[in-house]
Amino acid sequence: MKPTPFEPLPEVAPLRRALREIVRALGALERGQPELGLTDSQAHALAAIERGVELTTGELAALLRLDKSTASRVVAELVRGGLVAAGEPGDDRRRKPLRLTAKGRARVAGVHERADRQVHEALAPLGEAERRLAVEGVTLYARALDRLERRRAFEVRPIARRDDAAVAAIIRAVMTEFGASGPGFAIHDSEVDAMYDAYRPPGAGYFVLEREGRVTGGAGFGPLGGGDAGVCELRKMYFLPETRGLGLGQIVLERVQQAAAAAGYHTMYLETLGTMKQARKLYEAAGFRKLGGPLGSTGHFGCDAWYAKALGGPAAAAAEGGEAQAAASRARGGRKAGARARAASSAQPKKA
């Protein structure tokens, strides 16, 4: 079976070309620091030890994305050369914090001089505007890659009964954080402590976000009380602070929409607060349209902003005809687990 057909963004091809060039050129230019008598890893390790305080070999490995065995050997060689010394073992004698010797500090200055000159020489012929553009663009992509890597640590899956306590704790923590704990807010819904039962399919569903076995957020859907039977409500989308800003909101939201479409709904509706700007940005980026007033009767009179979106399922096709947005979502939704991130801007909690 072939992997899901998939339409890369138009920016992907030129960016890949440019990145290939950069990685190779850097590799070729940086290769070996013969005049300094250091391998690349040694030079990187020295710089990392200089930056970090009380860095241990294991932490160094993580920083340099090297295997800890490699880090161990690199450090051993640097110690042998008198550039690095293992500090006092403190309380915990397993830890051996690393520090630079005077000789090591002198050498790392040479490493920086060389690297600075390298980058400087590449940039110098450019005009100031071009230099700024280069820095901004490269920085932007570096951040995007970092977020991608951190997103990959998360998985989205349907809620299980054992998640009930964790999910309830998250809902209460986030609503309290946002001061949405008074009457008319979802924190008082009786279902909070029994989400697994409250959102059992068909007609409803709840998904949690998990990292290393720990649940850190979730979102679900269910029928819209007092409304059209073809309309569902996006409900209880909450993320712990550590989860935000990685683009996970979009991913969870896509998963929920996909499940709602499969359950036969043609439209998704949601209620939130005008003051929750980041959450509203997420909804708008996902294709939700702002409404002039509420739909149905959810009892959440604390809310003051309402959104809706046509879903890309068969029901929506029958009711409205699929939009491009919905079609794209459907095409991408088919991949295994959806654990791999591939969309979304920043995520914020929603009250509902």
Partner DNA sequence: GAAGATTGAAACCTCAATCTTT
Partner DNA sequence: AAAGATTGAGGTTTCAATCTTC
* Residues 83/25, Cβ–Cβ less than 8 Å: no
Nearer residue to a copy of itself within complex by CB, 77 or 284: 284
Q: Angle at which helices 248-262 and 324-333 pack, to 10 degrees?
A: 90
Residue 197 interacting entry, from a copy of itself, DNA, none, C-beta within 5 to 8 Å by type: none
65 in contact with DNA (CB under 7 A): yes
Encoded tokens for 332: 């991408």
238-267 binders of DNA (CB under 7 A): none
80 in contact with DNA (CB under 7 A): no
Nearer residue to a copy of itself within complex by CB, 3 or 34: 3
Residue 80 interacting entry, from a copy of itself, DNA, none, C-beta within 5 to 8 Å by type: none
Q: How far is the CB of 86 from a copy of itself (least distance, A)?
A: 25
User: Residues 147, 215, 178, 285: is their CA dihedral positive or negative?
Assistant: positive
Residue 194 interacting entry, from a copy of itself, DNA, none, C-beta within 5 to 8 Å by type: none
188 in contact with DNA (CB under 7 A): no
Residue 72 interacting entry, from a copy of itself, DNA, none, C-beta within 5 to 8 Å by type: DNA
Nearer residue to DNA within complex by CB, 118 or 139: 118
15-54 binders of DNA (CB under 7 A): 32, 39-41
Residue 36 interacting entry, from DNA, a copy of itself, none, C-beta within 5 to 8 Å by type: none
Footprint on this chain of a copy of itself (rule: CB under 8 A): 3, 6, 8-9, 11-19, 21-29, 64-65, 110, 113, 115-127, 130-142, 144-149, 247, 250, 340-345
Residue 76 interacting entry, from DNA, a copy of itself, none, C-beta within 5 to 8 Å by type: DNA
Q: How far is the CB of 299 from DNA (least distance, A)?
A: 44
Residue 92 interacting entry, from a copy of itself, DNA, none, C-beta within 5 to 8 Å by type: DNA
Nearer residue to a copy of itself within complex by CB, 131 or 200: 131
Q: How far is the CB of 345 from a copy of itself (least distance, A)?
A: 5
Nearer residue to DNA within complex by CB, 214 or 335: 214
Stretch that binds DNA, among 18-26, 58-66, 211-219, 324-332 (CB under 7 A): 58-66
Strand partners, 222: 233
Q: How far is the CB of 258 from DNA (least distance, A)?
A: 33
User: Considering only residues 95, 244, 340, 342, which one is a binding residue for DNA as defined by CB under 7 A?
Assistant: 95
Residue 127 interacting entry, from DNA, a copy of itself, none, C-beta within 5 to 8 Å by type: a copy of itself
* Residues 237/201, Cβ–Cβ less than 8 Å: no
3-state secondary structure the chain: CCCCCCCCCCCHHHHHHHHHHHHHHHHHHHCCEHHHCECHHHHHHHHHHHHCCCECHHHHHHHHCCCHHHHHHHHHHHHHCCCEEECCCCCCCCCCCEEECHHHHHHHHHHHHHHHHHHHHHHCCCCHHHHHHHHHHHHHHHHHHHHHHHHCCEEEEECCHHHHHHHHHHHHHHHHHCCCCCCCCHHHCHHHHHHHHHCCCCCCEEEEEEECCEEEEEEEEEECCCCCCCEEEEEEEEECHHHCCCCHHHHHHHHHHHHHHHCCCCEEEEEECCCCHHHHHHHHHCCCEEECCCCCCCCCCCCCEEEEEECCCHHHHHHCCCCHHHHHHHHHHCCCCCCCCCCCCCCCCCCC
Interface positions with DNA (CB under 7 A): 32, 39-41, 56-59, 65-70, 72-76, 92-96
